């Protein structure tokens, strides 16, 4: 196990070493401050693990109502510089988003992943009405202007410049599209996001390593030196079926991969060995391709994160070249 002093997230994505991050998903329901919480416990364990450089806290993934990311971050504020909070556009208009951004900045949570967000799938009394007053590009532009000192009308009509924030803004892109007419708008928008102020990139979920590499090639062709974090989600039979259904935007599992996952899930260990090794191989490939870090999700126990990372680190320096053609599940 490597023993390095914890870095802040800004340093992690610019450091020469390859780092690992972990996704933490909050829950729906009451979680009093004086009561044990499995989510808080997981986050604490991950942050205490020297293999984990940072954690990233989601904002109502899948469109359902959950505790906001700064609820969890607030419980672990001593590690604020090693946490990334997701900020989405689906539940709030531009004023609500700006207010949330001011709250995050005031609480010292500067690392933000700006996302349009998943269309709501449920809520009290039925499906919630989505907002989408801004999209991710507009959100990035707002956060960038806040970093420069947002100008707003003052009491006497003159513009007033508000104190500058210090957000470290990330964005997402999905290279996993079936048709060129779907793919190219993603890439054009990625370039616009970077121009608007995004400073690091997280691809959405897919299992074709050639498409991950394509992002690097696109940025290189535009001479954009922006850190890219590899996104790896540990599959199971259930998760593969969900991703294959198309019900979760930005999560793609092909017919061939679904068939493989269902076959592995029927084994005595429910495919656990296969799925962990599959994720570890993905981490090895993104490391070999020159990504700045690997971001790991889909697990509920800190020790499982560690097991997958240890497996990834056990591979030889050039093994990723053999793994890459194995993980090319295109649509």
DSSP assignments along 221-285, one per residue: HTT----BEEEEE---HHHHHHHHHT-STTB---HHHHHHHHHHHTSTTTTHHHHHHHHHHHHHH
Q: Identify the band that residue 5 occupies on the pLDDT scale cut at 50, 70 and 90.
A: low
Question: Are 313 and 306 contacting, i.e. CB atoms less than 8 angstroms apart?
Answer: no
Give the tokens for residue 230.
């590899």
Written as six digits, the tokens of 77 are 């504020």
Cα distances from 21 to residues 106, 194, 308, in angstroms, run 24, 22, 12
Q: Which CATH class is domain 9-234+292-300?
A: alpha beta
Give CA–CA dist 330/211, Å, rounded.
9
Of all helices (H) and strands (E), which one includes residue 311?
helix 302-314
Beta bridge partners of residue 86, listed in sequence order: 113
- Residue 4 pLDDT > 60: no
Burial class, 317, CB count within 10 angstroms (exposed 0-12 / middle 13-18 / buried 19+): exposed
* pLDDT at 211 exceeding the cut of 80: yes
Q: How far apart are CA 23 and CA 36, in angstroms?
A: 20
Q: Give 27's Cβ-side CA count (13 Å radius).
A: 12
What is the sign of the dihedral through the CA atoms of 52, 277, 13 and 38?
Answer: negative
Concatenated DSSP letters of 158-188: SEEEPPP---EEEEEE----SSHHHHHHHHH
With CA atoms as reference, report the closest residue to 47 among 13, 78, 1, 10: 78
User: Which range is least confidently modeled, 156-160, 251-255, 303-307, 308-312?
Assistant: 156-160
121 versus 204: which is more confidently predicted? Answer: 204
Domain boundaries, the chain: 9-234+292-300
pLDDT, one tens digit per residue, over 255-298 is 999 999 999 999 999 999 999 999 999 999 999 999 999 999 99
pTM of the model: 0.95
Percentage of the chain exceeding pLDDT 90: 86
Cβ of 78: how many Cβ atoms within 10 Å? 8
For β-strands 159-161 and 151-153, DSSP reports them as antiparallel
Residue 1 has pLDDT above 60, yes or no: no
């Amino acid at each position: 196990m490597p023993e390095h002093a914890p870095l802040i997230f800004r340093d992690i994505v610019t450091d020469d070493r390859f780092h690992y991050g972990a996704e933490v998903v909050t829950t729906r329901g009451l979680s009093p401050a004086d009561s044990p919480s499995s989510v808080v416990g997981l986050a604490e364990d991950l942050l205490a693990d020297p293999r984990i450089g940072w954690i990233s806290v989601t904002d109502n993934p899948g469109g359902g109502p959950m505790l906001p990311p700064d609820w969890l971050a607030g419980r672990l504020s001593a590690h604020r510089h090693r946490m990334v909070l997701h900020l989405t556009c689906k539940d709030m208009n531009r004023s609500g988003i700006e207010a949330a951004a001011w709250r995050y900045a005031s609480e010292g949570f500067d690392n933000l992943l700006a996302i349009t967000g998943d269309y709501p799938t449920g809520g009290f009394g039925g499906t919630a009405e989505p907002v989408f007053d801004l999209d991710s590009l507009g959100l990035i532009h707002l956060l960038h202007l806040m970093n420069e000192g947002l100008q707003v009308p003052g009491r006497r009509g003159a513009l007033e410049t508000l104190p500058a924030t210090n957000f470290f803004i990330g964005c997402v892109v999905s290279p996993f599209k079936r048709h060129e007419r779907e793919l190219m708008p993603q890439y054009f928008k990625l370039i616009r996001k970077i121009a608007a102020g995004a400073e690091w990139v997280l691809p959405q979920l897919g299992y074709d390593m050639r498409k991950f590499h394509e992002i690097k090639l696109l940025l290189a062709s535009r001479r954009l030196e922006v850190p890219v974090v590899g996104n790896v989600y540990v599959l199971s039979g259930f998760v593969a079926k969900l991703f294959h259904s198309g019900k979760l935007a930005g999560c793609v599992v092909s017919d061939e991969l679904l068939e493989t996952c269902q076959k592995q899930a029927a084994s005595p260990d429910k495919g656990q060995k296969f799925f962990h090794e599959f994720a570890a191989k993905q981490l090895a490939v993104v490391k070999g391709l020159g990504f700045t870090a690997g971001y790991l999700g889909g697990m509920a126990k800190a020790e499982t994160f560690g097991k997958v990372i240890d497996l990834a680190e056990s591979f030889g320096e050039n093994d990723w070249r053999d793994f890459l053609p194995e993980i090319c599940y295109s649509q």
